Amino acid sequence: MENSTYFKDFRLAAYGDIREFKYFYFAAVTVLYFVIILANAFLIGVICIERSLHEPMYLFLCALFVNQLYGSTGLFPALMFYLLSDTHDISLLYCYLQIYVLYTYGLTEFCNLAVMSYDRYISICYPLWYNSIMTPKIICGLILLSWLYSFFINAIIISLSLRLQFCSNVLDRVYCDNYSVVKLACSNTMLNNISGLVGTLVSLSCTIFPTIYSYVRILQICLTFKSSKEKKQKAFNTCTPHIASLLNFSFGCLFAILQGRYDTAHLPPILRTFLLVYFLICPPLFNPIMYGVRMVKIRQACKKVLGLKT
């Protein structure tokens, strides 16, 4: 073990690069957070109030919006505080708590998107069996399983990181990230690396691969000559927002992962920070707008709740 020191906190060094514009960034972040809360909470309320939206697809969307509020809360309050603060030290306890919230948000988001793709797969490929398969018990079970799986996997990852001793406490981030924390460790991190790799492979197998399979099968159904034009149009209209949401979130996670693995010092500081927080800001911001605009039943329900003509 090299010269390890007991630290009570970590220092988020990335805030030093944006000190000159902190008031501008604070105002922008505050507006973004307000819009995210308003948009997601409004659609959650609409789905809960309108009985016509008490269908599997919209209940899964509701779970997606709840998770986006959860993930945003893990980032924005701390981000707003540290933008105005002169010190950018974060306690070990809060750092690990933030890692847990952000990581469970990310994995739950992939789980929700996988469940939504499965729902669309059953609806389009097996429409006659849809109601017998997607029962209320199955719907609740899938939503609950998405959260429990994410909480369990990330609890293991955090518990392994808690035992580490560190040579430094400086994180080049605006939020705590487990990979960056592990890189600062002087103690043996082999168990952390193995668990991270196994967790990633298992999570990919349970989320990304089933999602890709579902949309490939849907595409095959849509391209067959037997499918009517109306059925093809309905399939594309319902699947397009889901695929756009998946790609948007996946690219955001990829940006954050690549920054942790490769040196990005040649990039402007503001661009590095934006790429780091993309998966925490853009999906919660754009998903409610995209689903609200693209999906007719949600759009009509929103107008009804607002007292507008449908």
- 103: confidence class by pLDDT, cuts 50, 70, 90: very high
Sequence-ordered list of residues with C-beta below 8 angstroms from that of 293, at least 6 positions apart, any chain:
299
Q: Check pLDDT > 80 for residue 260.
A: no
The mean per-residue pLDDT over the stretch 47-75 comes to 92
The answer to whether residue 4 sits within a structural domain is no
The answer to whether residue 1 sits within a structural domain is no
Could you give the percent of the chain with pLDDT greater than 90?
A: 35
The answer to whether residue 278 sits within a structural domain is yes
The mean per-residue pLDDT over the stretch 218-234 comes to 71
The mean per-residue pLDDT over the stretch 60-74 comes to 94
Please give the pLDDT value at position 77.
Answer: 93
The answer to whether residue 2 sits within a structural domain is no
Q: How many domains does the chain have?
A: 1
> How far lies 11's CA from each of 7, 176, 260, 270, 307, in Å?
10, 10, 17, 18, 49
Q: For the ranges 47-56, 113-122, 218-227, 282-291, which has the lowest average pLDDT?
A: 218-227
pLDDT tens-digit profile of 170-199? 888 889 988 888 888 888 888 888 888 888
Q: Check pLDDT > 60 for residue 125.
A: yes
Distance between CA atoms of residues 95 and 91, nearest Å: 6
β partners of residue 240:
none
The answer to whether residue 48 sits within a structural domain is yes
Domain encompassing residue 59: 9-306
The answer to whether residue 257 sits within a structural domain is yes
The answer to whether residue 236 sits within a structural domain is yes
Please give the pLDDT value at position 310.
Answer: 56
243-247, Cβ contacts within 8 angstroms, sequence gap of 24 or more: 243/215, 244/290, 245/64, 245/113, 245/283, 245/287, 245/290, 245/291, 246/113, 246/117, 246/211
Q: Check pLDDT > 80 for residue 237.
A: no
> How far lies 26's CA from each of 33, 76, 83, 269, 293, in Å?
10, 10, 6, 16, 29
- CATH number of the domain enclosing 163: 1.20.1070.10
The whole model's pTM is what? 0.90
Could you give the percent of the chain with pLDDT greater than 70?
A: 94
Please give the pLDDT value at position 30.
Answer: 94
CB atoms within 10 A of CB 47: 20
pLDDT tens-digit profile of 4-26? 556 788 988 888 767 677 888 89
Q: Check pLDDT > 80 for residue 3.
A: no
The answer to whether residue 73 sits within a structural domain is yes
